[in-house]
Amino acid sequence: MSSPIRITVRLFALMADRAGQREIPLSLRTSRPTVADALAVLHDLFPAIPWPTGTMLALNQSYTTAAAPLTDGDELAIIPPVSGG
């Protein structure tokens, strides 16, 4: 098995409030991890985090999908929808 991939997950708004932190370091031990793998670990660690419809994902400051591959040192931002008037 290869060495773990370490990434940083950034949360915003209610998601950060429920997790009690805005930045979460994650270590992924799967070979060829994807954003979906990181999200699964995050769901297990923080089941109280809400996942509203319209939540966006950004990998290293560019919008991405759950299928995107991760590499060591990546930053994954989980951005809830914004409302206002």
pLDDT, one tens digit per residue, over 46-79 is 998 888 888 999 999 999 999 999 999 999 999 9
CA angle 37, 17, 79 (to 5 degrees): 50
State the fold for domain 5-69. Answer: Ubiquitin-like (UB roll) (3.10.20)
pTM to 2 decimals?
0.90
Burial of 38 (0-12, 13-18, 19+ CB in 10 A): buried
* Backbone phi and psi for residue 6, each to the nearest 5 degrees, phi listed first: -110, 125
